[in-house]
Amino acid sequence: MIKPHGADILKPLFIENSVERNALLEEAASLPALILNSASAANAVMLGAGYFTPLEGYMNVADTLSVAEKMQTENGLFWPVPCINCTDDITAIEGSSTIALLDPNIEGNPVLAIQNVEAIESLSEAQINLVTKQIFGTLDTGHPGVKTFKGLGKYLISGPIKVLNYSYFETDFASTFRTALQIRNQIEQNNWETVVAFQTRNPMHRAHEELCKIAQESINADGILIHMLLGRLKPGDIPADIRDAAIRKMVELYFPKNTVMVTGYGFDMLYAGPREAVLHAVFRQNAGCTHLIVGRDHAGVGDFYGPFDAQTIFDNNTIIDALDIEIFKADHTAYSKKLNKVVMLRDATDHTKEDFVMLSGTRVRDMLAAGEDLPPEFARPEVAEILMSYYQQEENL
């Protein structure tokens, strides 16, 4: 099986031993405590689940700036997006060597992790802008990722952590949330050697379904990992439970049995385009996948990135040398009325726009909210039914 990134074995930071975990929870009750923001909490979950192998905790200012500028830590480890714990208030933890990290996403703010504090440093406004610009390619707060990142706070708390639970992901998405180790173990049990991953924060329509099948056939993959983001999204995006139901229905009815794993991971969407696409590749290599589908405008938002920027970044020699996972570069896909099947646009050079069934996201939402059937060439009827029920419920609230 493909090796994890930067290590011979996966390095999840979740404390598996229940006795040790309970002792740490008891210890945490007497420690200075910090309520995390959702982004820092998501980083803790990903560290615990092994997706951030080989990191041992949150980065300091030097590593944060180095990763932002060069996609490498100070000691040369390749990493595309800083893994940080930021806050705007250090009153409760100043001078502490060990702190309890509290979950902002669960009522009562239970302990999520314990951190050994190596440093508490502040980022200047110029440094925050530098990191923002490098990660997101813009300082425009109309970009949802920029707006969130710039609001996290200027104090950066670095040091290793021990993760004590997986926040709400394990309970709210019991059948879907999986750690990198659990996925690796399942791939091994399935005797899959070549595995192609598909990242999604949206429901999957016919074009997404066929893209997975095209990629599987092209690389002769044993199986497909459909890996959905379960954390926070921007307003207007479809909630994870609805996406989960729609994707599972599609896989049940339209994929051969035992060829697809439907799973999810506990991270908040960054909308960071090219940099986030590279981070997605790290996640999937750590989960045991040999290939990742990177499509048009992967992890993008609005018009902040070119349609293929998230593909061309993988031509960077630093990334080529650092990662073992291979990238399946996909074009936009749509149903061809000429060929009566879904195709990638680059393979249909004799087509005009009128030869495809294409709907904007706004048009899809309007049709579903109005109870109008989506064209079967665009969406499977069983998937559309789940989405329609959700949108009509939203309209009636």
Structural tokens at position 142: 């109309």
CB distance 390 to 249 below 8 Å: no
Burial of 278 (0-12, 13-18, 19+ CB in 10 A): buried
Counts of helices then strands in the chain (DSSP H, E): 14, 15
Which residue, among 267, 34, 25, 11, has the nearest Cα to 165 in the 3D structure?
25
Number of neighbouring beta carbons within 10 Å of residue 349: 6
Catalytic residue positions, numbered: 201-202
E strand spans, the chain: 33-35, 57-58, 86-87, 98-102, 111-116, 119-122, 155-163, 195-200, 223-229, 260-265, 291-294, 326-329, 333-336, 341-344, 356-357
E strand spans, 56-168: 57-58, 86-87, 98-102, 111-116, 119-122, 155-163
Which residue, among 56, 50, 84, 82, has the nearest Cα to 68 in the 3D structure?
82
Q: ∠ at Cα 77 (320, 21), nearest 5°? A: 125
Structural tokens at position 226: 């459909």
State the Rg of the chain over Cα.
21
CB distance 195 to 292 below 8 Å: no
Contacts of 340 (CB under 8 A, 6+ apart): none
What single letter denotes the amino acid at residue 24?
L
E strand spans, 50-140: 57-58, 86-87, 98-102, 111-116, 119-122
Rounded to the nearest 5 percent, the helix, strand and coil shares of the chain are 40, 20, 45
Q: How far is CA 112 from CA 7, 79, 99, 222, 267, in A?
A: 25, 24, 11, 36, 14
